Structure 1
């Protein structure tokens, strides 16, 4: 049967698939629009299976918060090429998944994928996009923070996103953003010294001892010298003890206390697609 250009455009608008894919799907469905949509979706599953072993290392990392500023999320949608990652529709699709996460507060990544969006699961939307775009598409990361105040930061280019929670509400937005940008720039491993895992501490001590051992320092002194290196590690790698990037004469902790004596960070999340 004859397939009109209007029908092709309607299907293209509904699915985002290419013109020829839409025309072929309509032909295969004998002009039945809903059946053609299903064919496009099934093609997405087929393409997804064929590309499952491909590496999807590009993508968009987006962060956002709820209207009341007490819940925030980061969602990362991956693809194979930077060309797709920068596509406006790809970024919009990522944003729609992020909005769904903020609205529904899923417990984990699997729960996010199972959320319904426009009558279908987010996972089915991702599969469909694989067919439409022709690249491996996957949601690789979902993180969330609930706190009295939560602030997001997205670095230009959508490759790096951070989320920071604070213990108090009513904080100046710029103050919170300063800290979120600190997390982005300085990549701390924890909020404070007490949050660093024993595994990381043991590893840093062992690295330091081996370094000084190679330098010929006496074995009896290694523990004490290594402890000094560990303190330096805490200062450089824990958020509250890092030098504040906007004024390195004070720490992040000092900066927050200058705003409010009780203000501190409860937790943070940092995700980057490329360092």
Structure 2
């Protein structure tokens, strides 16, 4: 029977190695919770290297697009890597397609990562949460904790990297990218994306057919 490993334990190993969550969990289970052995196993498999590659320059890659069924939602995303060789790999192209689909399925996502969220946006969210009626009579220390928790949740909602991957909800988009970095041996970065929603920003006029006919007769 596999050793039971807590989510926090797995998260800590992922932060230490940069390997994917599922790889870290498996390594810990196989090593009976021994962190040093788990790290050694990940290194032997070439999975404990994503963090080391994260600072390397990414000037190649591709721009992927996705149009959702019904043609009412469209996405374009730029995914970067280090070499054109990796950009042409089927695994990299599939990653780009999956990320584009993820963006289409995540209407609340506005930024690549929490680090990309402007300070004024974070401050505005804090002001909104701090002014909510359910916090008025709370002690200040309790109020701060509640606001901090809500802000953290909100920032996670806005960040693409913090989303659960739609094809495997046990991992995040960050985990998915880390796994591909380990697989392909190059730094991979989502540089930017844009989402198009049909009719967004246009005031729609609801007018039934009879009203339209009456309008035409009067004119």
Aligned equivalents of 1:210 and 1:250: distance in 2? 34
Tell me what 2:111 maps to. 190
Tell me what 1:83 maps to. none
For residue 105 of structure 2, give the secondary structure of its aligned residue in structure 1: helix
C-alpha contact 2:163 2:173 (8 A) present in aligned 1: yes
Q: Shift of residue 220 of structure 1? A: 3.8
Distance 1:162-1:249 versus aligned 2 partners, 3 A rule: same
Which residue of 198, 201, 204 maps to 2:125? 204
For residue 186 of structure 1, give the secondary structure of its aligned residue in structure 2: coil
Aligned equivalents of 1:184 and 1:274: distance in 2? 15
Distance 1:195-1:208 versus aligned 2 partners, 3 A rule: same
For residue 157 of structure 2, give the secondary structure of its aligned residue in structure 1: helix
Q: Shift of residue 252 of structure 1? A: 0.4
Aligned equivalents of 2:190 and 2:137: distance in 1? 41
Structure 1 gaps of 5+ residues are 1-145
Aligned equivalents of 1:223 and 1:253: distance in 2? 28
Q: Shift of residue 163 of structure 1? A: 0.7
For residue 206 of structure 1, give the secondary structure of its aligned residue in structure 2: helix
Tell me what 1:263 maps to. 188
Q: 244-253 or 196-205: which moved more?
A: 196-205
Structure 2 gaps of 5+ residues are 1-58, 82-86, 201-219
Q: Shift of residue 164 of structure 1? A: 0.8
The TM-score normalised by the length of structure 2 is 0.53
In the TM superposition, 1:53-92 aligns within 5 A as none
Tell me what 2:94 maps to. 174
C-alpha contact 1:212 1:222 (8 A) present in aligned 2: no
**Alpha-carbon displacement from aligned partner over 1:161-180 (angstroms, at most 9, x marks no partner):** 10111121235322211110
For residue 164 of structure 1, give the secondary structure of its aligned residue in structure 2: strand
Aligned equivalents of 1:258 and 1:229: distance in 2? 29
**Alpha-carbon displacement from aligned partner over 1:69-102 (angstroms, at most 9, x marks no partner):** xxxxxxxxxxxxxxxxxxxxxxxxxxxxxxxxxx
Backbone CA RMSD of aligned residues? 2.2
The TM-score normalised by the length of structure 1 is 0.43
Highest RCO, 1 vs 2 (Cα 8 Å, sep ≥ 6): 2
Q: What number of residue pairs does the alignment pair up?
A: 130
C-alpha contact 2:165 2:172 (8 A) present in aligned 1: yes
Q: Shift of residue 273 of structure 1? A: 1.6
Are positions 1:216 and 2:137 aligned together? yes
